């Protein structure tokens, strides 16, 4: 009897732990502070369950559909946060530092870092490498009045990444993907191939390959 | 172990199985679409118009979309009392909606006049969507089940037709 009770409790705790892991793995206070200061906030959260369902229902008939299906069925989550501010200076360099700090683990490496307009606009692209495989992508774009975060977790093929915008075609149900649209932060990533980190903007300063 | 152990245990378990769901219902009211609409009405002292004959409309939608859309439920608040706290609205909806639903999209403005919440849940081959949209003094609450495959085909059909018209 006791053993059965222990097993039931164990199952419940495991389920609770799994549920707790489904959110955006960013420090909650940073998200809350940014949301409190932003005039408009857009959040897109596609967890493993939702992506699994999307992959399941995609027929994969077309070439693009098949590639998107293959890409998303292994993903653990896609998270987008877009904060728009009424005026410049509503978020600080410290906020950006806190966001970067969340990905300061050894498996995360910066591959692109750009600074434009004398530091007013920055873009960070980090990838998570596990045993030589790309298992995550983090993009942070900071403009004076806008801050965008894109986090994709799971095995990623860089050459297929641009196809994620095709998720909007899932019967229109996931249509308003906002920043995942053609002109969003993933737009420039569409042509990025693993190992070649080109960016065609005329930047004041571009750093590549972990020179933070 | 004899029946002196099992019979009282079964009695206790039966009581728990009956009492817990009843207590949960009594404490929190109904969940799902009606629960959310009722909770919004209570919290914001607003009145929702539930669209009449929605069952019939849902049947028609199901038929015209070849099973792409079903289970449509709509409630409309026409004179919603002003801006709301986005976090509070989100909490009300999440609490009442119940398990299985996950929020996929949230758009919120600090001034509170515009709020959009979209929740989704897999329903076998269908995708359940629950949408709460506030635009100034009008709020719509919509629940719908869509067949992503079927809907994709319909959208593609119209996209192709639009492309053909553009090229002509």
- CA B41 to chain A, closest CA, distance in angstroms equals 25
| Tens digit of each residue's pLDDT (9 = 90 or more) over B128-167 | 999 999 999 999 999 999 988 777 777 777 777 777 888 7
What is the ipTM metric for this complex? 0.71
pLDDT in the model for residue A207: 47
Q: CA distances (Å), A23 to each of A45, A49, A53, A76, B6, in order?
A: 8, 12, 17, 11, 42
pTM above 0.95, yes or no: no
Tell me the pLDDT of chain A averaged across its residues. Answer: 70
Residues of A in contact with B149 (CB under 8 A): 57-59, 171
Q: Is B149 on the interface with A (CB under 8 A)?
A: yes
Long-range contacts: A53-59, Cβ < 8 Å, 24+? A53/B122, A53/B127, A54/A167, A54/A170, A54/A174, A54/B148, A56/B122, A57/A170, A57/B125, A57/B127, A57/B148, A57/B149, A58/A170, A58/B148, A58/B149, A59/B149, A59/B152
| Tens digit of each residue's pLDDT (9 = 90 or more) over A5-54 | 444 444 333 333 333 344 566 777 888 889 889 999 999 999 888 888 88
Report whether A163 contacts A78 (CB < 8 A).
Answer: no
Q: Give the span between the Cα atoms of A38 and A32, in whole angstroms.
A: 10
pLDDT in the model for residue B16: 56
- CA A140 to chain B, closest CA, distance in angstroms equals 19
SS3 content of chain B, % helix, strand, coil (to 5): 50, 30, 25
More confident residue, B29 or A57: A57
Is residue B115's pLDDT more than 80?
yes
Is residue A115's pLDDT more than 80?
yes
- Mean pLDDT for the stretch of residues B97-115: 90
pLDDT in the model for residue A164: 62
Contact A57 B146 (CB under 8 A): no
Backbone dihedral angles phi then psi of residue A10, each to the nearest 5 degrees: -60, -45
Test mutation, A77, A80, A173, A181, chain B, max B CBs within 10 A: A173
Print the SS3 string covering B29-45: CCCHHHHHHHHHHHHHC
| Tens digit of each residue's pLDDT (9 = 90 or more) over A160-211 | 676 665 554 333 333 333 334 333 444 334 333 333 333 334 344 444 443 3
């Amino acid at each position: 009897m006791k053993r059965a009770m222990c097993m039931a409790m164990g199952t419940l705790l495991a389920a609770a732990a799994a549920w707790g892991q489904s959110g955006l793995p960013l420090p909650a206070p940073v998200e809350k502070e940014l949301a409190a200061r932003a005039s408009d906030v857009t959040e897109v959260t596609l967890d493993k369950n939702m992506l699994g369902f999307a992959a399941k229902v995609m027929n994969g008939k077309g070439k693009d559909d098949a590639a998107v299906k293959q890409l998303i069925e292994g993903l653990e989550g896609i998270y987008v946060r877009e904060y728009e501010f009424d005026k410049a200076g509503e978020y600080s360099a410290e906020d950006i530092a806190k966001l970067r700090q969340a990905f300061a683990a050894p498996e995360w490496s910066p591959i692109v870092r750009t600074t434009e307009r004398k530091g007013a606009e920055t873009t960070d692209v980090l990838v998570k490498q596990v045993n030589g495989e790309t298992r995550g992508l983090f993009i942070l774009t900071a403009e004076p009045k806008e801050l965008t975060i894109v986090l994709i977790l799971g095995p990623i093929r860089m050459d297929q990444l641009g196809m994620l915008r095709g998720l909007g075609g899932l019967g229109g149900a996931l249509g308003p993907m906002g920043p995942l649209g053609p002109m969003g932060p993933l737009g420039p990533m569409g042509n990025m191939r693993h190992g070649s980190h080109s960016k065609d903007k005329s930047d004041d300063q571009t750093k590549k390959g972990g020179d933070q | 172990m004899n029946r002196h152990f099992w019979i009282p245990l079964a009695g206790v378990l039966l009581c728990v199985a009956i009492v817990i769901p009843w207590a949960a219902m009594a404490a929190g009211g109904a969940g799902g679409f009606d629960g959310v609409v009722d909770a919004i009405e209570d919290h914001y002292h607003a009145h929702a118009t539930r669209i009449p004959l929605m069952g019939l409309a849902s049947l028609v939608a199901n038929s015209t979309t070849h099973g792409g859309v079903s289970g449509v439920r709509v409630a409309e608040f026409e004179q919603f009392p002003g801006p709301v706290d986005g976090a509070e609205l989100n909490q009300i909806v999440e609490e009442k909606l119940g398990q299985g639903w996950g929020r996929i999209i949230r758009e919120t403005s600090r001034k509170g006049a515009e709020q959009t919440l979209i929740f989704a849940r897999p329903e076998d081959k269908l995708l359940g969507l629950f949408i709460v949209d506030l635009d100034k003094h009008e709020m719509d609450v919509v629940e719908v089940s869509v067949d992503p495959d079927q809907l994709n085909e319909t959208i593609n059909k119209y996209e192709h037709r639009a492309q053909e018209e553009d090229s002509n």
